[in-house]
Chain A
Amino acid sequence: MQQFFIAIILVLGLSTWWLYGQNQTFKANQIKLEAAVEEQKQAMEIMKEQYEKQGKALMNMSRENAQIEEEKAKYLAIFSRHNLDALAIKKPGLMELRFNKASEAVMEGLEDDTEKLSTLNQ
């Protein structure tokens, strides 16, 4: 009889120890999973923030690009509005002045644009 009770105690003890181990594993897993979920939430937040920033920067770039295209079209419209050949024949002095001023403006514009870009790091 005594041996039977000892056997029961041993079986119960071992099974309880095994269950305890399992429980510990589940607890640890749950903690890890909760931490992973929290981590993912933070990562999502950062990604969202990053996405918004990139979106804004892209929008700015598109706006600037549209302005650049507009500026170019504005310059080229001068050629379509005027008959340069006829003007050069009739008023070469005036055209010479305009050509030289426009050339200078274009060169200065290019210098200013590249100057602005080169000082971004400062």
Chain B
Amino acid sequence: MIQKNLVLLISSIFLFTGCSTLGLLGPKKIETISKPVQIDIMQPDLPRPVELTAPKWYVVSEARIANPCKKVVQEDGTEKRPKVCDISEKENPDWPEGYTYLDRFLDEMKKQNNGEVVFVASTVGDYKVMAEDMQELKRYLKQLGEVVVYYRNVTMPNGDKGAGVAIKKND
């Protein structure tokens, strides 16, 4: 009787523990795949380039404008400019003697404004300030452009310039 019970006991133990050793009810293998996925950040349209027109500057002083004589053909066929000549043989015969840059400027202003003298003047110092300010603006624009390029490069998904990534986890 005791032997029968012992056999029953041992076989029962094997029966119960066997479930774990056989692996029939073992855990399902969890497949975890981790891979980087690209986040597509929409790149905005960049503003169109600027279209600028350079202003015309007049530098005016009371210095005389050179009004050289017209070139004269020499006997050997070469052209030479005589040092002294009549006013009618000068390059600009309509300019009076001692015609200065200021005179020419005023004449041009009169021509542009129907005989009136109208212009906006600036000093050399102010021109310098404006040129410096323009350079400062240019520097700011260019450096801001570099920041745009930087952000674009670190968020672009393709190639060497791409870095927009995240983790996708599949369980």
Is A90 interfacial (CB-CB < 8 Å)? yes
Is B8 interfacial (CB-CB < 8 Å)? yes
User: Which residue of the partner chain A has the closest CB to B48?
Assistant: A118
B132 contacts across to A, CB distance below 8 A: 76, 79
Residue of A1, A71, A96 contacting most chain B CB atoms (<10 Å): A96
Give the complex CA separation of A107 and B120 in angstroms.
21
Q: Specify the main secondary structure of chain A where it touches its partner.
A: helix
A53 contacts across to B, CB distance below 8 A: 153-154, 160, 163
Given A9-B12, A68-B139, A106-B134, A32-B30 contact (CB < 8 Å): yes
Give the complex CA separation of A12 and B125 in angstroms.
103
Interface size on B, residues (CB 8 A): 68
Given A53-B154, A76-B132, A91-B63 contact (CB < 8 Å): yes
- Where the two chains meet, the residues of A that have a C-beta atom closer than 8 Å to any C-beta of B are 1-2, 5, 8-9, 12-13, 16-17, 19-20, 23-24, 27-28, 31-32, 35-36, 38-39, 42-43, 46, 49-50, 53-54, 57-58, 60-61, 64-65, 68-69, 71-72, 75-76, 79, 84-85, 88-93, 95-96, 99-100, 102-104, 106-107, 109-111, 113-121
Sampled A-B contacts (24; CB under 8 Å): A1-B2, A5-B9, A13-B16, A27-B27, A46-B167, A49-B163, A50-B165, A53-B153, A53-B154, A53-B163, A54-B154, A57-B150, A61-B149, A79-B132, A90-B61, A92-B61, A92-B63, A103-B54, A104-B54, A113-B145, A114-B49, A117-B46, A121-B43, A121-B45
Apart from the given pairs A16-B13, A16-B16, 14 other A-B contacts in the complex at a CB distance below 8 Å: A16-B20, A27-B27, A46-B165, A72-B135, A85-B124, A88-B124, A89-B63, A91-B63, A99-B127, A100-B56, A106-B135, A114-B48, A114-B145, A120-B46
